[in-house]
Structure 1
């Protein structure tokens, strides 16, 4: 039986950097993050909500994102607890698993769905926290579910996609993605493409589109190309969720490219070299990418021409970028949220949370932040 080997981001990056050294004794050089740049002006964000859950390992990039639905916040704790808040008021708190939680929360259709390293899937009633159903996948669940068309769709780390009926947890369909023997310990979550189709990025550099109701494959498109010599250098995992805007799908890949695909023709429009394990952001005809080495890049969505780049945050282990108002926001290893001008990339201000920022999301013009130390917070423009 083939066995899949997963490696942390940090180890993959270090191995790639050290490949080709002729000496048998290689001294690891610690890369220092750039100091925080001085600001000509200083703007920040206003905190709306903040709660803490348990921390996670620095070597395990879990996406323990919080979810929001109907004005209620749902927080997953790595130790196996899910809680719900309305503003600062806690509505309920439920322990769902002694095995912990390794996926982020997803809330829709009246349920909250989380998963763990044993492949267990739990659906809780949004109003009460009571378990509606429990199901079993074939491997660890490292990314959030997508609740879509009456299905809770998840990807196990053995490359199997599961669609569970959101009402009762029965398996509606499964789909086996290609198996790669070596990959990063990460998995892109499914994202909607159209009224019936979802797209999933994989560790082999392809995106697969699948019918959400039947599990029938609709498309497979290569969006990342490997150019390395060693097994580690050839890693081109799509570890981050694709972003779909209209007819365009934007993807990033580790040691690969940022790529824009036209979904109507299923052809790549353009591709630019950029190594990233974070989802891109798309806003008003621009694509924003944060790279492994700490650059923030902006490309024209239609031509691929670079619009601007910012290298002031090198080696600060940036999160995915998001757009909030007129600002591109990225988080870093010190819990700093950086605000950049969406038009030119100028660094305009910052706010601080606690712990290295793992996931940023914008929902209803609010910024949802999750950090490794378990700080889960919501912010808005001042």
Structure 2
């Protein structure tokens, strides 16, 4: 029987390994997060919206996220509710799942899409919150869907990619990713490649381009390699969404590399060792990666040359980095939003939310933040 083992997170695996060493009398030094660096004349951010929802398990790396469309903000609650706001005014609130919700929100084309741990996919009307359709998929839904080319593209945690007609919920096609015996518990959300095709990242470090209308595969490319000796050391998942910037596709992988590919030739142009389960950010000529050990590294996009590296936030369990205005923003386990000069890597400011930051997004020149503790907030530059 072909079995697949999902690890909640790499830190859980590491903790178990260290516990085993401790039981054998081997002294293990506790890893502590770096203290916050002192700042002079620090910049900050202003919160313009906040909403508290239920928290998620510390061991489950869910990245619940806010979304916005046509000036309306949509909030998912792990307890099974979805809410819509304009400014601070709530337009509607709907309880749609007794078993809770586990994927972030995708809002587009008049729809709000959310999913559950039990594989239920729900489509709601943006204006009213009324359920338009729901379908049962084959695995837990841990990542947001993508609405693209009239399809709702969803990746279940068993490695099956589903496409449903956005209007009716009728299944259009499925695509099965290669099965791997061991992987991290998590899944990158689908990403639009162009007007018709979508990108899917996998646990075997491949990127797949699939026609959103027909399900036909258009490209598959290995983006990382591993030389680990054990099954755990060979974990090499791409759990952060790939970044598309002009002719470049950039990925980062766990225990693997940050890799840039030329989309025209479909050839890898550079690859540098780095371990990250977060989406890399691409801005200007820079590729910015928040690594699992807390280092933030910047690479030149055409050559892979390292531009700078910041190690002041070691072991602070960083979120994905995003460019927001003139600064690079990254969140940490203490709810701190760090503002970084993208040209030098210098930390120039900070703001504070509640709980470890799991997801950062920039929508309509505002910073959307979600934390494991359930603090959903929107920020703007001062």
What is the TM-score when the length of structure 2 is the normalising length? 0.97
Name 1:351's counterpart in structure 2. Answer: 351
Name 2:248's counterpart in structure 1. Answer: 248
What secondary structure is seen at the aligned counterpart in 2 of 1:11?
helix
Name 2:78's counterpart in structure 1. Answer: 78
Name 2:179's counterpart in structure 1. Answer: 179
Partner Cα distance (1:22, 1:77) in 2: 39
User: How far 1:40 sits from its partner (Å)?
Assistant: 2.2
- Kept in 2, the 8 Å contact 1:15–1:232? The answer is no
Q: Summarize the Cα distance change of 1:47–1:22 in structure 2 as closer, same or farther, 3 Å threshold.
A: closer
User: How far 1:13 sits from its partner (Å)?
Assistant: 4.2
Which structure 2 residues correspond to residues 52-71 of structure 1 after superposition, within 5 A? Answer: 52-71=52-71
Name 1:45's counterpart in structure 2. Answer: 45
Which is worse superposed, 194-203 or 329-338? Answer: 194-203
Deviations 1:338-373 (A, max 9, x none): 000011111101000000000000111110000000
Provide runs of 4+ in structure 1 moved above 2 Å.
Answer: 12-19, 21-30
Deviations 1:274-303 (A, max 9, x none): 100000100011000000000111000000
- Kept in 1, the 8 Å contact 2:18–2:28? The answer is no
What secondary structure is seen at the aligned counterpart in 2 of 1:128?
coil
Name 2:7's counterpart in structure 1. Answer: 7
Which structure 2 residues correspond to residues 88-107 of structure 1 after superposition, within 5 A? Answer: 88-107=88-107
Name 1:379's counterpart in structure 2. Answer: 379
User: How far 1:2 sits from its partner (Å)?
Assistant: 1.6
User: How far 1:12 sits from its partner (Å)?
Assistant: 3.3
Q: How many residues align?
A: 381
Partner Cα distance (2:61, 2:42) in 1: 30
Unaligned runs of 5+ in 2: none
- Kept in 2, the 8 Å contact 1:16–1:232? The answer is no
User: How far 1:230 sits from its partner (Å)?
Assistant: 0.7
Q: Summarize the Cα distance change of 1:26–1:59 in structure 2 as closer, same or farther, 3 Å threshold.
A: farther
Partner Cα distance (1:267, 1:278) in 2: 23
Unaligned runs of 5+ in 1: none
What secondary structure is seen at the aligned counterpart in 2 of 1:239?
coil
User: How far 1:30 sits from its partner (Å)?
Assistant: 2.7
- Kept in 1, the 8 Å contact 2:64–2:76? The answer is yes
- Kept in 1, the 8 Å contact 2:175–2:215? The answer is yes
Deviations 1:48-92 (A, max 9, x none): 110010000110010110111111110111110000011100000
Name 1:289's counterpart in structure 2. Answer: 289
Deviations 1:177-198 (A, max 9, x none): 1011111010011101111111
Name 1:224's counterpart in structure 2. Answer: 224
What secondary structure is seen at the aligned counterpart in 1 of 2:253?
coil
What secondary structure is seen at the aligned counterpart in 2 of 1:107?
strand
What secondary structure is seen at the aligned counterpart in 1 of 2:12?
helix
What is the TM-score when the length of structure 1 is the normalising length? 0.97
- Kept in 2, the 8 Å contact 1:193–1:244? The answer is yes
What secondary structure is seen at the aligned counterpart in 2 of 1:12?
helix
User: How far 1:263 sits from its partner (Å)?
Assistant: 1.1
Name 1:310's counterpart in structure 2. Answer: 310
What secondary structure is seen at the aligned counterpart in 2 of 1:63?
coil
User: How far 1:137 sits from its partner (Å)?
Assistant: 1.0
Partner Cα distance (2:200, 2:345) in 1: 30
What secondary structure is seen at the aligned counterpart in 1 of 2:259?
strand
